[in-house]
Structures are given as structure tokens and as C-alpha cells.
């Protein structure tokens, strides 16, 4: 019997994967329009020459065929950075789902890839220590936190350095919105802690910012457990139930509790207004 990992069946990274697949498909169409007219004549000429030539000329013909095919396959699978980032994003979300999975045995309920109508929330974790909104980032280089920004530093290749300047600002806003939606739907007063989960070389491991915590994924589960209990079992269930309610425009989110599995598609919270753009 084949066992499917929790990260694979949880639905984590589905939104980013869909964006990556759509971008890769568009890229490959554009490559076909540009590269095939240039490489096809070389490929066909090489095939013809391979049939009629001998000795050294035949070797050259084989090289023409192999090189043109290799160039095409290489280029078609090397999409631009704005497409590639969605693949890394999906990998980061699945990595976070893997480390969160064991918490289900301790009564935590986990939600992944929640559709907000204007984007998605990567993860929501509900446990004895509270409600957490988590955003996953898989980054290259050496990662440092500077206020609300994340810097990715490539010491040997400084031209590849980049910044995510408003991560903290965005996460504070999303956590506040989720808090408001939960309280409107349940009547429970809750605090939603914003967490940015970093996958990559992050020497600090943990940085506490302005109502946002930046954590390396390897320390995430222990950090979640270490907080004092402040959310009763009844309150946790009310919050989880609110996240599961179906709306007219989306499928219900399914919690990854001790005996429950997420559907492989994108789950949608329905607390608060749903808008599509």
C-alpha cells in the first residue's frame, strides 16, 4: 500500500503550484513560437544528413540533431524568475506542512492554502497556545530580517541580492483581518499571531518583529508548542468550525485534525466577506 505524505495530501502550496503550472505553460508556448522556427531546420537537416552521410560527416549530423534538441528542452524548462518563484513558493509551503503535520496528534487543527478572494493565506494553525497565521518563504542566499523586510544576500554574487520589503506590513494586516473575521463569526475574542516561516540559510533562526515573528522552519513546531495555553478546547473548535463553513462561491476548508484530512484542492475560509477580482 502506498502511503501519501501529509504534506502531499494537505493541499499546501496548491495555489502557488497552479500559478507555476500556468506560467510554465505560457512560457513553453512562447518558446515554441520563437525557438522552433530557429532550431527545427537544424534538427531536420541533421536527420537528413545522418541518413545520407558517412563517417565524420555522420558524426556532425548526429551532433546537430542532439544539440538542437538539447537546447530546446533546456530552454523550455528554464522559465523566467517571476514564474520560477511560484515553484519555490509551493515547495516552501509543503515544507511547512511537513513540520506542522505531527502537531495534529496533539490536538492542533491545520488549514492550508485558504482562498481569501483576493489571494490566499498559506497556513492557519489552531492549537492550545492560540491561532497562528503563517506565510512560507523559500529563499536563496543568506536571509536577514530588517524591520518589516526580508533581505536575501548573496555575498559572492551581490547583483543577485533582493528584498521583500513589505512582508511584515502585509502579515500584520492579514492577521488583523483574520482576527476580525473570526471574532465576527464566533463571538470569541482571539489573538492571531502572524508568523513568516523561512526556508533557507537563516542564521538568526528567530526574529521577533512588530507583531510578526520570523522563524526558520526547523524551529517552528517547538516554538508553537512553547507558548502558554490560552485557547480553550471549546474556543478552538468554534474557530475551526468557522473556517470550515462553505460559501456559495467556494468549497469548504477541511481541517487537518487528528482524524481528518484536507482535500487536495484549495480550501476556502468563509468568515468575513468573500470578494473575487
Q: pLDDT tens, 77-111?
A: 777 877 788 788 889 999 999 999 999 999 999 99
Average pLDDT of the residues in 117-139:
93
Q: Of 171-175, 189-193, 216-220, 264-268, where does mean pLDDT reach its minimum?
A: 264-268
Number of neighbours of residue 273 by Cβ within 10 angstroms: 10
The residue with cell 510554465 is 24
Tell me, what DSSP letter sits at residue 5? P
**The predicted structure's pLDDT at residue 274:** 33
**The predicted structure's pLDDT at residue 20:** 74
Given a contact cutoff of 8 angstroms between Cβ atoms, the answer to whether 137 and 199 are in contact is yes
| Arithmetic mean of pLDDT over the chain | 80
**The predicted structure's pLDDT at residue 175:** 97
**The predicted structure's pLDDT at residue 259:** 37
Rounded to whole angstroms, how far apart are CA atoms 133 and 126? Answer: 9
pLDDT tens digits for range 181-229: 999 999 999 999 999 999 999 999 999 999 999 999 999 999 999 987 7
**The predicted structure's pLDDT at residue 61:** 61
pTM of this structure: 0.74
Rounded to whole angstroms, how far apart are CA atoms 98 and 121? Answer: 17
Given a contact cutoff of 8 angstroms between Cβ atoms, the answer to whether 123 and 14 are in contact is no
Per-residue pLDDT for 263 more than 50?
A: no
pLDDT tens digits for range 30-69: 877 777 676 667 666 766 666 666 666 666 766 666 777 7
Of 96 and 1, the structure prediction assigns the larger pLDDT to 96
Of 112 and 22, the structure prediction assigns the larger pLDDT to 112
Domain segments of the chain: what residues? 14-76, 90-244
**The predicted structure's pLDDT at residue 83:** 79
Rounded to whole angstroms, how far apart are CA atoms 198 and 204? Answer: 11
Contacts of 107 by beta carbon, 8 Å cutoff, 6+ apart: 127, 128, 233, 236, 257, 258
Of 27 and 238, the structure prediction assigns the larger pLDDT to 238
Q: What's the number of CA atoms in the CB half-sphere (13 Å) around residue 230?
A: 15
Amino acid at each position: 500500500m502506498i502511503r501519501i505524505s501529509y504534506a502531499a495530501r494537505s493541499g499546501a502550496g496548491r495555489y502557488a503550484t497552479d500559478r507555476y503550472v500556468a506560467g510554465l505553460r505560457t512560457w513553453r508556448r512562447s518558446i515554441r513560437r520563437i525557438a522552433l522556427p530557429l532550431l527545427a531546420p537544424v534538427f531536420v537537416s541533421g536527420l537528413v544528413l545522418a541518413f545520407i552521410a558517412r563517417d565524420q560527416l555522420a558524426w556532425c549530423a548526429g551532433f546537430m540533431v542532439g544539440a538542437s534538441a538539447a537546447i530546446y528542452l533546456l530552454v523550455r524548462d528554464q522559465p523566467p524568475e517571476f514564474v520560477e518563484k511560484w515553484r519555490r513558493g509551493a515547495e516552501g509551503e509543503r515544507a511547512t506542512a511537513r513540520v506542522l503535520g505531527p502537531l495534529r496528534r496533539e490536538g492542533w487543527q491545520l488549514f492550508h492554502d485558504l482562498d481569501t478572494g483576493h489571494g490566499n493565506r498559506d497556513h492557519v494553525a489552531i492549537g492550545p497556545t492560540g491561532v497562528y497565521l503563517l506565510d512560507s518563504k523559500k529563499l536563496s542566499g543568506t536571509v536577514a530580517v530588517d524591520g518589516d523586510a526580508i533581505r536575501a544576500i548573496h555575498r559572492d554574487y551581490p547583483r543577485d541580492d533582493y528584498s521583500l520589503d513589505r512582508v511584515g506590513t502585509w502579515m500584520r494586516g492579514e492577521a488583523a483581518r483574520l482576527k476580525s473575521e473570526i471574532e465576527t463569526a464566533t463571538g470569541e475574542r482571539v489573538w492571531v499571531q502572524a508568523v513568516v516561516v523561512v526556508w533557507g540559510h537563516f542564521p538568526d533562526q528567530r526574529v521577533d518583529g512588530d507583531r510578526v515573528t520570523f522563524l526558520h522552519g526547523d524551529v517552528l513546531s517547538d516554538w508553537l508548542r512553547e507558548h502558554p495555553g490560552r485557547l480553550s478546547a471549546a474556543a478552538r473548535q468554534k474557530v475551526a468550525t468557522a473556517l470550515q463553513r462553505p460559501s456559495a462561491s467556494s468549497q469548504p476548508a477541511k481541517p487537518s485534525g487528528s482524524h481528518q484530512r484536507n482535500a487536495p484542492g484549495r480550501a476556502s475560509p468563509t468568515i468575513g466577506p468573500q470578494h473575487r477580482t
